[in-house]
Structure 1
Amino acid sequence: MLSRRNKLLLFKLLSLFSVVRGYNILVITLAQYLASIFILSPQTSLREVVLDLNLFLIVTASGLVIASGYIINNFYDAEKDLINKPRKSMLDRLVSQRFKLTTYFILNFLAVLAASYISFRAVLFFSSYIFGIWLYSHKLKRVPFLGNLVSASLAIAPFFVVFVYYGNFETVIFVHALFLFLLILAREMIKDLENMAGDMAQNYKTIPILYGPKVSKIIIGFLIVLTLAPALLLIKSFDVGYMHLYFIACIVLLGLFIVLLWGARGKKHYVWLHNILKFIIVAGVISILLIDVDLVINRIL
């Protein structure tokens, strides 16, 4: 049996994991490695990619900055989250605000330190990334639509730094990136609908608060329709192996999403819509393996 002190320590660790969204960081780390292996450097051996110290430091620095970003976002949104996410907020509050800020600075320091082993340009990139996340959390997230754009841009930044590292600027990479960006942007706008109660209480000027849920739904629907364009391009114009099955499934799911979006009336519905987009994004990470099934089999065996 765990002692009371050990139980409290365990709950605090769970609280910190919840604040930094450890599960999201694991998915992003996996996505960076899978993209490196199967999209950005398919001719490089698996051993070379996995044992590449610079890539490991890039992925590590990305994870540290993202974790610190979740902390600073949680710090500024503490009051709002009490309304929008009361259960999660109670767990998050097991760790003091002072400890969160201390952890935030430590993680950022470690990220820049890791980047310094790569190059001065990497230090500049991750320093700018840290500043961008802070600026978004402190100011920009309160600006309608601009906050959503910045949030989506920050979300794909870890993938940008990896394909810059490999110097792979093929058109197919940008089409993949556009697909992901539009999905994330739509998800950010769904979150605004989901969090309207807390946003109104804290005087956030989001699109559904300023112009109403109907206008927000129209914009989200338009973004989903735009997302179909890169999905169709990736099916018809590029060789993505069996991953074309994923994009076909996405088109079906996104069609269902639009139908459900128009009928959505409350937070419960918006949470479901949010989860559909999250599922599509996470499934996309795993589906990278479908680009070259023979390569996957050969590298496993």
Structure 2
Amino acid sequence: MFTRKQRHILIKFFSLFSVVRGYNILVIVIAQYLTSVYIFAHNIPVKKVLLDLNLLMLVLASAAVVAAGYIINNFYDSEKDLINRPNKSLLDKLVSQNTKLSFYFVLNFSAIVMASYVSFNPVLFFSAYIFAIWFYSHKLKKLPIVGNIVSALLTIAPFFAIFIYYKNFDTVIFVHASFLFLIISIRELAKDLENMKGDLALNYRTIPVVYGEVTSKKMITFLMILTLLPLYLLITKFEIGYMTYYFYGAIILLIIFLSLLWKSTTKTHYIILHNILKVIIVAGVFSILLIDVDLVLKRIL
């Protein structure tokens, strides 16, 4: 049995884990390593990629900055989250704001130290990334359209750090990135629909609040049409192995998503839509393993 002190520490840990969304951080770390092995450094032996200390520092720095970003976002959105996510907010509040802010500065400082191990350029990149996340959380998040675009760009920024490190400019990378950017942009709009109650109460000028639900749904539909271009290119023009099946599955899920979107009217409906997009994103991370299974097995052996 746990003592009272041990239970208190455990509860605090889960509270902090909830604030930094540890499960998202884990997915980002896995995604960065998989993209490094299969896409960015596909000509380098797997063992060399996995044991690359510079890559490890970049991945850890990315994880630290993203975790810090969740903390500062939680700090500015605490009132809104109390309306939109009351249960999660109660868990998050078990850690004081002072503790969260202290951890925020520690994480960002650690990221800069780890980036400095690689070179000065990553230090500049992560410094700009830290500032961009803070500026988004403090100012841009409440602006329609601009906030959505910046949020999507900040989400894919950790992969840009790896992209710069390997200096791989293959066209397929940009096509993958455009698909991911569009899916994340759709997710941001779906989140705005889901969180409309809190946004209205606290005067967040999101697209559903300013322009209405119908306009938001039209914009989502337009973005989904745009995703057909990278999907078509990835399936027909590039060698992506068995990952083709993932993109066929993504098309099916997007069709289901679109059919449900125009029937959705409640928060529960929008949560379901948001979860469909989460499945597409997380499945996309692990489907990278399907790009060239035989070749990677040879590289390992």
Same fold (TM over 0.5): yes
Tell me what 1:167 maps to.
167
> 1:21-40 to 2 correspondence within 5 Å?
21-40=21-40
Tell me what 2:210 maps to.
210
> 1:1-301 to 2 correspondence within 5 Å?
1-299=1-299
Given that residues 144 and 207 in structure 1 are in contact (C-alpha distance below 8 angstroms), is that contact kept between their aligned partners in structure 2? yes
Percentage identity across paired residues of the two chains: 62
Given that residues 54 and 118 in structure 1 are in contact (C-alpha distance below 8 angstroms), is that contact kept between their aligned partners in structure 2? yes
Structure 1 residues without counterparts, runs of 5 or longer: none
| Residues 196-248 of structure 1: per-residue CA shift (max 9 Å, x gap) | 11111111001101111010010011111111210111001111111111111
Q: TM-score scaled by structure 1?
A: 0.98
Structure 2 residues without counterparts, runs of 5 or longer: none
In 2, distance between residues paired with 1:298 and 1:263? 49
In 1, distance between residues paired with 2:9 and 2:86? 21
In 1, distance between residues paired with 2:200 and 2:43? 52
In 1, distance between residues paired with 2:227 and 2:56? 31
Which runs of at least 4 in structure 1 moved beyond 6 Å after TM superposition? none
In 2, distance between residues paired with 1:8 and 1:205? 38
In 1, distance between residues paired with 2:13 and 2:295? 39
In 1, distance between residues paired with 2:46 and 2:239? 21
Given that residues 232 and 247 in structure 1 are in contact (C-alpha distance below 8 angstroms), is that contact kept between their aligned partners in structure 2? no
How far 1:46 sits from its partner (Å)? 1.1
The amino acid that maps onto 1:168 is: N
| Residues 263-282 of structure 1: per-residue CA shift (max 9 Å, x gap) | 11110000000000010000
Choose 96-105 or 4-13, whichever is displaced more. 4-13
Q: TM-score scaled by structure 2?
A: 0.98
How far 1:297 sits from its partner (Å)? 3.3
In 2, distance between residues paired with 1:10 and 1:41? 39
| Residues 103-155 of structure 1: per-residue CA shift (max 9 Å, x gap) | 00000000001111111111100000000000000000000010000000000
Choose 124-133 or 39-48, whichever is displaced more. 39-48
In 2, distance between residues paired with 1:253 and 1:191? 17
The amino acid that maps onto 2:231 is: A
In 2, distance between residues paired with 1:94 and 1:183? 33
SS of the aligned residue for 1:263 comes to coil
How far 1:299 sits from its partner (Å)? 5.0
In 2, distance between residues paired with 1:278 and 1:241? 23
How far 1:76 sits from its partner (Å)? 0.3
